[in-house]
Amino acid sequence: MAATASAAPAQPHRPLPERLPLVIGVTGHRDLRPQDEAELEDKIGEIIARIRRDYLPGGEETPLLLLSPLAEGADRVAARAALKHGVRLIAPLPLPADEYRRDFAPDRRLRADAAEEFDRLLAQAIAAPVVPFAPDVTPDNVRDETKRALQYRAVGVFIVQHCDLLIALWDGNEAEPAVGGTAENVGFKRSGMPLTLTGSAHASLDGSEIGPVIHVVTPRDRPSNTVKAVMVEPWGREAVEQHRGNRVTRVLRGVSSTVAILFGGEADDIASRLDKTRRAELEGWERFESLTKLTGAFNKEAAALLASPDGKAKVDESIGYLITDPDAKKPEEHIKSYALGQTPRWWTLYGAADVLAQRGQKTFRRDWLGVFVFGFAAFAAFALVMHLHAADTKWLAAYLVFMLALLGIVLGARYRRDQDRFLDHRALAEALRVELYWSLLGISLSDGGGRLYPIKQPNELTWVKSCLRKLDWLRDPAEEASKTADARAYAIARRCWVYGQCKFFTRRGRDHDRRAARLEGVSMALLGVTIVMVALILLLLHDRDSWLVLAVGLVPGLAAAFAGYSERLAYSAQSLHYERMEAMFSRAYELLPDDLSGIAPEHVSSLFRELGTEAMKENAEWVAIYRQRPMRPVQ
């Protein structure tokens, strides 16, 4: 679900920076015991502090956001605690603010100042999106209690779908969960939403909303309450340690598993021995830590890039290239100012991701070049040792040096995650490219890239999907409301995106074809030279210790190095990928007329949406090509 409107609250805080946020959702009871509220605020403050300490060390660049619909009770306790600890508040509302405020009228309120507190907290929110009406709910029947409950479910689903983790102020009672109630929201976050609710096979199979829950055991202010005191159940690293043990235990278990594998046994898999609920909890926290690390790392790199002497210029150049007609030498300022004015958010985020991806690609290629250069050098040095019958130890020493250099490159690249960072940044930049053009064209982001990004992908790309889901609705709702493609936006998208991508993929496809053909040609030529040298030795030479014999051993190794370099950089596979993309964008350009007068608005939206969806799928496949070629020594 996506935001469709905003209550336009005051904005006393700094606007959200161009960074990827960490989003916390809250769900819980309305009927809290008054004497527990101060303690609950303290507990949530401790949770926020632990999140920062355990998952965002030194992560000032990563903004923390809280999603709270500001209902009485748990929602407001969490909102107050979050604001007190520097977390920015976003208040997704189940109903327009004036209608929602009826829940806090004197005949319905739990607290005397319920309406006033709602207004105070709403004024401190940096955004207040209103979720769309659920099926069968209309402005005319929304005051019916059954229909109203469906809207509370809708806002709960919104929070579950868009938060990285959920805090539940809940008594733990899972019996007969109420529609839109806390038990239902916790179930959705832990296990995903059923097909009967989503109505979408894609959404239910995807399950990208599944994540960890922090359970704050919370008494209720009612006679049937059985919970006596506030308590926080183990969560985060504490929950992981309960299942896997402390760091020393995990290291020892890893060594034991390695030894078992070497002797034909199986690794000790703790998760397989847990029941379904505990296994899901363990995997949820481990996945959360992995994705949070990726977010923090990207934000640090983006901040460092923008703070560097030429970083801002590089980012501006990348943004300019995105909205430049490919037949022009540089972006036209009136086009750039119009595009950035229409969709002012996330351009800098795209530019940073794109520049970091370009830098990462250079590092990635340099790593592989170093692997093959030092790998062949080590092979040549060892061949000399064998040829000279170890008479000269300097070649043996050279062999050792080259092997150490090779190992250093591989270990360094893996430690720095050069390949993974390059792929992550490129995947994020390409997905943001689609979303920026969709936003420019007025295409609704209610089913944006976060939902349409392909399901079948390496686990690491879950991070990209998570980022898109958050960015889809973090745009200014007023900016997206009632927007349709105008003539200028259409012309920019058609020329700069569709035609531009067509030209890009044509150029890159041919470039990769040439590189693959050149490397394959060199490799085949070297193998041919080897055959000629062997023939010369057999026919003309009698000295089997000649240097020509040594060359016969070295030249095939050099041929293998060229072939391996081409294969590891996937020049041929990429060429096929670029050909598919060129064909798709060329066809789209043919289908799109020169101006809007020649096409129906619904066809514009449909074609650009499908084009963007296919582009994201193709990009995920491109990333998968490289995921299958991890950095390792030459074999």
Q: In whole angstroms, how large is the CA radius of gyration of the chain?
A: 29
Structure confidence at residue 5 (pLDDT):
38
C-alpha closest to that of 95 among 58, 119, 67, 128: 128
Q: Find the mean pLDDT for residues 231-254.
A: 75
d(CA 421, CA 359): 10
130, amino acid identity: V
Non-local (6+) Cβ contacts of 63 within 8 A are 16, 17, 19, 21, 22, 88
117 phi, psi to nearest 5 deg: -65, -40
User: Maximum CA pair distance of the chain?
Assistant: 109
What DSSP line would sit under 429-486, residue for residue? HHHHHHHHHHHHTT--STT-HHHHS-SSS-GGGHHHHHHHHHHHHHS-HHHHTT----
Q: In this predicted structure, what is the pLDDT of residue 14?
A: 44
Amino acid at 579: E
Q: 55 vs 27, 237, 297, 360, 365, CA distance in Å?
A: 22, 9, 11, 24, 31
Flag the least confident range among 195-199, 265-269, 610-614. 265-269
* Spatial contact of 166 and 185, defined as CB atoms under 8 Å apart: yes
Domain boundaries, the chain: 22-234, 341-443+485-627
What distance in Å separates the CA atoms of residue 130 and residue 90, rounded to the nearest whole number? Answer: 11
Q: Which of 114-123, 156-165, 543-552 has the lowest mean pLDDT?
A: 543-552
**What are the beta bridge partners of residue 318?**
none
The pLDDT confidence band at residue 559, using thresholds 50, 70 and 90, is: low
Tell me: the pLDDT tens digits for 262-298? 555 555 555 555 567 777 888 889 889 988 999 999 9
Q: Cβ(342)–Cβ(515) under 8 Å?
A: no
Q: How would you classify the pairing of strands 231-232 and 64-67?
A: unpaired
Residue 407 and residue 428 in contact, taking contact as beta carbons nearer than 8 Å: no
- Confidence tier at 364 by pLDDT (50, 70, 90): confident
Q: Do 533 and 544 meet the contact criterion of CB atoms below 8 Å apart?
A: no
Average pLDDT, stretch 369-383?
A: 80
> Would you say how long the chain is, in residues?
635
Residue 552: CB partners within 8 Å, gap ≥ 6? 530, 533, 534, 537
pLDDT at 602: 81
* Torsion sign over Cα 443, 448, 449, 454: negative
pLDDT at residue 123, rounded to an integer: 93
From CA 602, how far away is CA 382, in angstroms rounded?
A: 67
DSSP secondary structure string for all residues of 318-355: HHHHHTS-TTSSS--HHHHHHHHHHS-SSHHHHHHHHH
Say which residue the tokens 């999907």 belong to. 465
For 22-234, CATH number?
Answer: 3.40.50.450
Distance between CA atoms of residues 361 and 377, nearest Å: 24
| Phi, psi angles (nearest 5°) of residue 261 | -65, -40
The closest alpha carbon to 350, from 430, 292, 418, belongs to 430
State the sign of the Cα–Cα–Cα–Cα dihedral 400, 402, 408, 414: negative
Question: Minimum mean pLDDT among 319-323, 385-389, 451-455, 555-559: which range?
Answer: 451-455
Can you count the helices (H) and strands (E) in the chain? 24, 6
> Which residues share a beta bridge with 216?
169, 232
- Rounded Cα–Cα distance for residues 115 and 118 (Å): 5
Angle, alpha carbons 310-312-316 (nearest 5°): 115
Q: What is the pLDDT of residue 476?
A: 47
236-261 burial, b at 16+ Cβ within 10 Å, e below that, comes to bbebbeebbeeeeeeeeeeeeeeeee
Instruction: Decide if pLDDT at 563 tops 70.
Output: no
Give the residue with greater pLDDT, 138 vs 519.
138
For residue 218, name the pLDDT band (cuts at 50, 70, 90).
very high
432-442 pLDDT, tens per residue?
A: 999 889 888 88
Sign of CA dihedral 335, 338, 341, 343: negative
Q: Which two tokens stand for residue 393?
A: 């130890």
Residue type for position 551: A
pLDDT of residue 136: 85
* DSSP secondary structure, 565-590, as one string: HHHHTTHHHHHHHHHHHHHHHHHHHH
Neighbour count for residue 201 (Cβ, 10 Å) = 9
- Kindly provide the b/e burial profile for residues 148-168, where b requires at least 16 CB atoms within 10 angstroms of the residue's own CB: bbbbbbbbbbbbbbbbbbbbb
Lowest mean pLDDT among 71-80, 291-300, 443-452: 443-452
Percent of the chain beyond pLDDT 70? 77
Confidence of residue 28 (pLDDT cuts 50, 70, 90): very high
C-alpha span between 295 and 463 (Å, rounded): 8
% helix / strand / coil in the chain, to the nearest 5?
Answer: 65, 5, 30
Whether pLDDT at 521 is above 80: no
Average pLDDT over residues 25-41: 94
CA 203 to CA 195: how far, in whole Å? 8
d(CA 379, CA 158): 58
Q: How far apart are the C-alpha atoms of 113 and 522, rounded to whole Å?
A: 80
Q: What mean pLDDT comes out for the span 331-351?
A: 83
- Tokens of residue 531, six digits: 């055959």
Q: Is it the case that residue 457 has pLDDT exceeding 80? A: no
* pLDDT (0 to 100) of residue 1: 38
Chain segment 477-504, per-residue pLDDT in tens: 444 544 566 888 899 999 999 999 998 8
Q: pTM of the full predicted structure? A: 0.82
Angstrom distance (rounded) from CA 64 to CA 26: 13
The CA angle 186-190-195, to the nearest 5 degrees, is 95
Query: Is residue 194 a contact partner of residue 53, using CB atoms and an 8 Å limit?
Result: no
pLDDT at 26 over 90: yes
Separation CA 86–CA 141 (nearest Å): 39
Q: 534, 351, 316: which is closest to 433 by C-alpha?
A: 351
Greater pLDDT, 254 or 284: 284
